[in-house]
Structure 1
Amino acid sequence: MSILVTGSAGLIGEALIESLLVENVSVIGFDKKTQTKKSATHNFVHVEGDLTDINTLKSIFNEHSIESIIHAGGISHPFIGDQDPKLTLNTNILGTMNIFELAKEYSIKKVIYISSGGVYHRNDDLSQQEKDILRPPSIYGVSKLTGEHLGHVYSQKGYFDFIALRFPFIYGPQRKMPDPIKDVIEKVVHGEKLIRMNGKEESLEFIYIKDAIRGIQLALNSQAIKDDVFNIGVGYTSTMEEIAHAVQMSFPKVTIEFTDQSSGYIAQRPLDCSKAETKLNFRANYTLEKGIKEYSQLYLSSCIE
């Protein structure tokens, strides 16, 4: 039996596949981007294609015996939703429906859906809880929430077990989409001594990739959960100034200054992760400082190589 990982060439997909292969799990990766890094691994097969291409997807199920799906594929950044709403909705809603329809047709046991904290609107509470009334403030958030609703419908009809995981910004090596941590680390590693950042007091929640992968695997290995949604985060937000301080702890010779401009991101409350701690035994291990330090070292070593 194999696990299908969509979005296999992305930040989550790459790290997740690496972790699964260490456990000697057979993995089928699906992504619209070419993936050559693990092509020599006998337990890994990469299929190139688009989530909206049902025929290519169906060929995977015909050729491989798949037990579970981790659906991490799709448009994964709120800015793209504003720039290209049609692409975002087609990929994240129609593409997700294709995955669920094939999971139903081929009697897949479990589907893990990678959702986002972008489904929440900003409120006056201390944190965002899974039981909150949801009014996403972006097209991207709407697309991710729609995927959650679709998954619950399929699960409630008994087609497969379904778990949605809502993540904040995930940072770490191999991230391709922009985020404030990635942007500043890239500039530091490429030799910039004076870096300007925006949104000094603006805050977002960030989780290091290793914590995110552990949350996914805990959900994948859970036996009793049939249809549920969990916040997987660190439970607190960090300001851009705190990010700058953490980067300077690893690179003390770098100067970071702030402009008067906004970062452009929608500020949100931290995710309440108590439900994941109780039902999945999940708690983040990486602080912002620890995660940025490791990320910086790995990024630096990859550039040297």
Structure 2
Amino acid sequence: MWLAMIILVTGSTGQIGSELVPALREVYGKDRVIASGRNVAKLREIGEPYAELDVLRRDEIARVVKEYKVNVIVHLAAVLSAKGEQDPSLAWDINTNGTLNVFEVARENRLDMVVVPSSIAVYGPETPDNPGDITVMRPKTIYGISKVVTELLGEYYYLKYGLDVRGPRLPGVISWKTPPGGGTTDYAVEAFYEAVKRGEYTFWVRPDTRLPMIYMPDAIRAFMMLMRADNSALTVRFYNVQGMSFTAKELADTIARYIPGFKADFKPDPLRQRIADSWPKSIDDSKARRDWGWRPVWGLESMARDMIENLKKSLGKKG
């Protein structure tokens, strides 16, 4: 089935979408991957085919699905954790009602698959450390709550209607190609940008804050591998995937090895520190490893080296 995929990607101009769309086009062909979103200028940068689309408009989703004969939706449109706390109503609307719209259009048009990522934001202070795929989920952010709803809705549509909903449950995603998009773990991205641009950065978390992370190339691999996995091999609908786990201080020290004189300061922001403290320090991705062969390629050291090399090129810095 995967060779015949015609894929609609929502939220294509975000951090993940802007890199996943080109990766999908390389595998399935440019004309078989339709980028969509509300920012037409950014959609043009990603390239055709693209469709202006608001996930809160079910009729718009249905129109694009029928026009392009879509049989798979990769649903990325979402308001992330830190931004979600600034406007909980908007986050709830896009993250839950938008997702319900996607599921309903997929059901009504008998699509083959919906791939929608979840997040470690589904966890809360009561979650044990290094949690597996099925565990206590009592998040304290609207983003986390909405992602729990996403997972439960996905399982419901799979069990009730046979709609193949699946997705990776991602930790913090680090990338040099797209600026941070409002997530709590974005300090790990900003630190690299500011280190290359200014040689210093003020972290908004304590130096001992340890969180699971993944480098974008591994995140893209996780999407691609899970999309192509045989449904009969899947034992859950949402899978933990992790690349590495490190403290903010360990990140700062690693950056300093590649940018001598890098100055790191730590001034915890109460809101974002509280969110970070509610998440586990690492996650158990053994089911993804067992069921569809997941293995991360990138670690902290190799990721840091690659980030800095590429950011220097993209930002026009020498040395």
Q: TM-score, normalised by structure 2?
A: 0.87
Q: Of 247, 266, 290, which residue of structure 1 is paired with 2:276?
A: 266
Write out per-residue CA displacement over residues 21-45 of structure 1, whole angstroms, 9 at most, x where no aligned residue. Answer: 2114310111122312232xxxx41
Write out per-residue CA displacement over residues 70-103 of structure 1, whole angstroms, 9 at most, x where no aligned residue. Answer: 111111x211221101000000000000100010
Aligned position for 1:217? 224
CA distance in structure 2 between the aligned counterparts of 1:237 and 1:276, rounded to whole angstroms: 17
Q: Does the aligned pair in 2 maintain the 1:51–1:74 contact within 8 Å?
A: no
Q: Does the aligned pair in 2 maintain the 1:10–1:175 contact within 8 Å?
A: no
Q: Secondary structure at the match of 1:23?
A: helix
What aligned pairs does 1:244-259 form with structure 2 within 5 A after superposition? 244-259=252-267
Aligned position for 1:229? 238
Compared CA separation, residues 9 and 246, structure 1 to 2 (3 A): same
**Deviation at residue 260 of structure 1 after TM alignment:** 6.7
Aligned position for 2:174? 171
Q: Does the aligned pair in 2 maintain the 1:129–1:271 contact within 8 Å?
A: yes
CA distance in structure 2 between the aligned counterparts of 1:115 and 1:2, rounded to whole angstroms: 22
Aligned position for 1:102? 105
Q: Over the residues paired in the alignment, what is the CA RMSD in angstroms?
A: 2.0
What aligned pairs does 1:117-196 form with structure 2 within 5 A after superposition? 117-123=120-126, 125-172=128-175, 173-178=177-182, 179-190=186-197, 192-196=198-202
Q: Does the aligned pair in 2 maintain the 1:10–1:176 contact within 8 Å?
A: no
CA distance in structure 2 between the aligned counterparts of 1:124 and 1:103, rounded to whole angstroms: 32
Matching of residue 82 in structure 1 with residue 94 in structure 2? no
Mean Cα deviation higher: 133-142 or 192-201: 192-201
Aligned position for 1:29? 35
The one-letter code sitting in structure 2 at the alignment partner of 1:233 is: Q
The one-letter code sitting in structure 2 at the alignment partner of 1:51 is: V
Q: Which sections of structure 1, spanning at least 5 residues, go unmatched?
A: none
Give the length in aligned residue pairs. 298
Identity %: 25
Write out per-residue CA displacement over residues 143-196 of structure 1, whole angstroms, 9 at most, x where no aligned residue. Answer: 011011111111112342111321011110214314112221221222x23433
Aligned position for 1:53? 57
Write out per-residue CA displacement over residues 221-265 of structure 1, whole angstroms, 9 at most, x where no aligned residue. Answer: 01124662200113x531110110121122123222334766624
The one-letter code sitting in structure 2 at the alignment partner of 1:202 is: T
CA distance in structure 1 between the aligned counterparts of 2:81 and 2:127, rounded to whole angstroms: 22
Q: TM-score, normalised by structure 1?
A: 0.91
**Deviation at residue 124 of structure 1 after TM alignment:** 6.9
